[in-house]
Structure 1
Amino acid sequence: MSKLWKPIGLAALACAVFMLLNNTSLFLEHASEKPVLLAHRGVSQQFDRTNLKNDTCTAERMLPPTHSYLENTIASMRASFEAGADVVELDVHPTRDGQFAVFHDWTLDCRTDGQGVTREHAMEELRRLDVGYGYTADGGKTFPFRGKGIGLMPSLADVLTIFPEKTFLINIKSNDPAEGHLLAAALRKASPSQLERLMVYGGDAPIATLRSELPNLETMSRGTLKACLISYIGYGWTGIVPDACKHTIIFAPINIAPWLWGWPDRFLRRMSDAGSSVFAIGPYLGGEFSTGIDTPQDVRQLPEGFTGGVMTNEIETIGPLLRRPLGGNRAR
C-alpha cells in the first residue's frame, strides 16, 4: 500500500504545480492600459438602494442632487464620456411605431408626466414627455427637475447617430424573444465598425434570439453569466474557456472574482482571446442587486494596476480616480 502512495502523491504534486503555473499571472507581461470604465445609467441622479425591488420608483427616493443630469439622456451620455467613461449603459424599449425608446422604466408613471406601459406608446408621444417630472428628494415636497426634462427622451437611433464612434452597453428590459429579433434588425442598420462597439444584455429569451441572429455581438443574460462563471470555476484551471464564456459580457463581483482561475491578468487575457469583455462590479451579497465600483473604498478592492473593465454608478467620482497614471490610480 505504501508503494501506491508515492506515485499518487507525485501525481497530485504535478497536478498542483500545473494548476499553479497555468493560472498564475506572475509570468505574464503586465499590460499598461488603464481600466475600461462602464458608466451604468450614465451620469444620473442617485437614490436610496435599501430594499430595492424591480418595481421600486427610484425617482421618489432620489438623494439630494449634486448635478442636473438625468439618466438615459443625450446630455447625461455626453457628460459620462467627458468624465472618463469608455462605455455608457442605456436602457431600451420597443415603441408602437417600430423604434426603440431609450428609457429605464417599464412604465412612465414614476419618472415622467405620462402614464402607462412605455412600449405601448409611439416615439413621437414619448418625446413630448418630461423625463424629470417625478424626481423628488424630500418625499414630494419639491420636484427640482420638473419642467426641465421635456423632450429629452431619445431613440436608440438618435444615440447611435449622435455618438457614432462611442461604445454602448444596451439593456433589453423584457424577456420577450421577439424583442431580440427587433433589436437585431435595428442594429443591422449600424455600420460594421459601429456594430463592433455595441454590447447587449437582458432577459434570457431575447438574448438567445439576438445571439442566433448576430453571433459575433457581445451579449449577456443572467443565464449566460451563470453558465460561464460556474463552468469556468469548475474547469477553467485547465486553461480551457467554456463556450458560455465566448462572445459575451462577464460581470465579476469583486468578492467572487478571486475564485476565477487566473484572476486577474491571465483570466482577462483568456476572456479577451475568446471575444469577451470583463467588468468588475461591486460585491455580490446574495440578493438580486449588485452595486457598482462606486466609492474610493471599492476602488481599493481592485487588484493593483487592474486593466479590465470597471462598472460604476458614479462615473463622475470613479472616472477621475481610475484615469490617473498607472501605479497611482488607486485611492489612498
Structure 2
Amino acid sequence: MRYFIFAIFLLVIGLFVGNTSLFSHFPAGDGPRLIAHRGQHQLFDRTGLDGESCTASRIYKPEHPLLENTLPSMQAAFASGADVVELDVHLTPDGEFAVFHDWTLDCRTNGSGITEETPMSLLKTLDIGYGYTFDGGRTFPFRGTGIGLMPTLDEVLTTLPQGRFLINFKSRRTEEGAELARLLGDPALRERIFGVYGGEEPTNEAVASVAGLKGYGKSSAKSCLLGYLATGWSGYVPEACRNALVPVPVNYAPFLWGWPERFYNRMAAAGSEVLLLGPIAAGDPGSSGIDDIAQWKSVPAGFAGYVWTNRIEKTAALARESGYCDRSPASRLCNR
C-alpha cells in the first residue's frame, strides 16, 4: 500500500513539474496582439441568442456611427490598435467575395434573399444599415446611412494596404476556399491574410492550397482541444493543433495542461497561433470576445498570443481598468 501511495505521489509530482508554468515564460514582447471581430461595430444583447436571431434588431443604443464589416469600421479598428481585423465573406455569382456577416439579406438590409446567391452588382445598391434598431423598431438610427457600404474583399485589401485580416467563410462551399487560394497566389496579398476559419470545406481547401496559411473550423478546433486535454499532460501536441489557429475560450483555458505559458509555448513550437476568445456558453452560437473588465482579469500577464475582442475601441481602457496593465506594463496596448 505504501508503494502504491508513493507511486501516486510521484505521478502527481511528475504531472505538476511537467505542466506547471513556474518554469516557463512567454517570449519577450509587447503583446497581446488584438483581433477586432467585425471591425468596430454595434454591440447587441446576446440573451437568448440563436443561429436565427437578427442581431441588428437587438443592438444597444449606439455610441458611434460605425457598422460591422465596412471599410470605415475596419479603419477605425486599426486606428484603435487592432493587429488583425476579422471579416466575413460570401462568394457571389459574379465571382466577388462580398464582405457581409449574414447568410441572408433580410435582417440588416432593405433587400431580401440569400447573400451568396445575389450578384455583387445588386449588393452594392443595398442599404446595409436599414434594419438596425435599439428600441424595438420605433427608430432606425442607421437607415439611409449604409447605402453602397458593403465592400468586396478586393476593395478591403486595396483600401487598407497595411491591414491584416482573418477571413470567416460563411458557407461550406469548397469553391470559396479554392477561389481565395487563387487570389492569394499574389505573394503581396498572401501576407495580408492572417488566417481563415468557419465553414470546414472552404477552410480546409484554402489551408491545403496556400502554403503556410493557418485556420480552424468547428470540428478541427474541437479535435485539437479535446485531444490536448487527453494527451497534453505528456507534452504531446495533437496533429489537429499543429500549424493551425488554436481558439481557446477564456472559461475553458484553465483546464488546459500547462496553461498559460507552457501551453502557449507548446503551441508555438508546433507552428500554431493561440487565439484567446471570450467565454463560450451552451447554446450561444456567437463569437464572444474579451469584452469587459472581468474577462480582462483572466488574460494572463504578458500573454503573447492574440486576444479576440468585440470592443476594440474600448480595449485599452478595459485593460487598464481591469489591472491587466499593472501586471503587464510592457504591453503596447497599455501604452496607447
Structure 2 residue 259 is matched with structure 1 residue 238: no
Give the structure 1 partner of residue 107 of structure 2.
Answer: 110
2:42 to 36, 42, 45: 45
Q: How does 1:143-222 map to 2 (within 5 A)?
A: 143-191=140-188, 194-195=191-192, 197-214=193-210, 216-222=212-218
Note closer, same or farther for the CA distance 1:321–1:145 as it changes in structure 2 (3 Å cut): same
Unaligned runs of 5+ in 1: none
- 2:21 pairs with 12, 25, 43, which one? 25
1:11 to partner: Cα distance: 4.4
Query: What's the counterpart of residue 261 of structure 1?
Result: 257
In the alignment, the residues of structure 2 paired with residue 285 and residue 73 of structure 1 have an alpha-carbon distance, to the nearest angstrom, of 28
Instruction: Give yes or no for contact 2:277–2:309 (8 Å, CA) kept in 1.
Output: yes
For 2:298, the equivalent position in structure 1 comes to: 301
Deviation at residue 28 of structure 1 after TM alignment: 2.4
Offset of residue 223 of structure 1: 0.1
- Cα offset for 1:215? 5.1
Question: Residues 184 and 190 of structure 2 are in contact (CA less than 8 Å); yes or no, is this contact kept in structure 1?
Answer: no
What are the superposed Cα offsets for residues 155-193 of structure 1, whole Å, 9 maximum, x if unpaired? 111111222332211100112223222222223235276
Match runs of 1:95-134 below 5 Å: 95-134=92-131
Q: How far apart, CA to CA, are the structure 2 residues paired with 1:210 and 1:194?
A: 14
Query: How much identity, in percent, do the aligned residues show?
Result: 48
Structure 2 spans left out of the alignment, 5+ residues? none
Kindly indicate whether the alpha-carbon contact (under 8 Å) linking 1:84 and 1:320 is maintained by their aligned counterparts in 2.
no
The Cα of 1:291 is off from its aligned counterpart by 2.0
- 8 Å CA contact 1:25, 1:265 repeated in 2: yes
Map of 1:272 onto structure 2: 268
Question: For residues 145 and 201 of structure 1, do their structure 2 counterparts lie closer, same or farther at Cα, with a shift above 3 Å needed?
Answer: same
* One-letter amino acid of the counterpart of residue 152, structure 2: S
- Residue by residue over 1:57-76, the C-alpha shift from the partner in whole angstroms, topping out at 9 and shown as x without a partner, is 11111211000000000110
**Structure 1 residue identity aligned to 2:120:** M
- SS for the counterpart of 2:315 is helix
* Paired letter, 1:314: R
Could you state the TM-score of these two structures normalised by the residue count of structure 1? 0.90
Q: Does 1:71 pair with 2:72? A: no
SS in 1 for 2:154: helix
Greater shift in the superposed pair: 13-22 or 212-221: 13-22
CA distance in 1, matches of 2:328, 2:227: 33
Q: Per-residue displacement from partner, 1:286-332 (whole Å, max 9, x unpaired)?
A: 2243521111121112223333221111111123444857635799x
Equivalent of 1:311 in 303, 308, 311: 308
Q: Following the alignment from structure 1 to structure 2, what is the Cα–Cα distance between the partners of residues 327 and 198?
A: 25
Asked if the contact 2:35/2:307 (under 8 Å) is kept, the reply is yes
> TM-score by structure 2 length?
0.89
2:169 & 2:29 partners in 1: Cα distance?
Answer: 34
Aligned amino acid, residue 202 of structure 1: G
Amino acid corresponding to residue 236 of structure 1 in structure 2: G
User: Equivalent residue of 1:191, what SS?
Assistant: helix
> CA distance change for structure 1 residues 190 and 159 in 2, over 3 Å: closer, same or farther?
farther
What residue is the counterpart of 1:141 in the other structure? 138
Query: Cα RMSD (Å) of the superposition?
Result: 2.2
What is the DSSP-based 3-state SS (H/G/I as helix, E as strand, rest coil) of the residue aligned with 2:191?
helix
1:10 Cα offset (Å): 4.8
Provide, for residues 187-237 of structure 1, a one-character-per-residue CA deviation record: whole Å limited to 9, x for no partner: 323527615x42100122222222322252111100000000011011112
Aligned position for 2:84:
87
Tell me how far 1:260 sits from its aligned partner: 0.9
Per-residue CA deviations over 1:110-134 (Å, capped at 9, x if unaligned) read 1112221111222222122211111
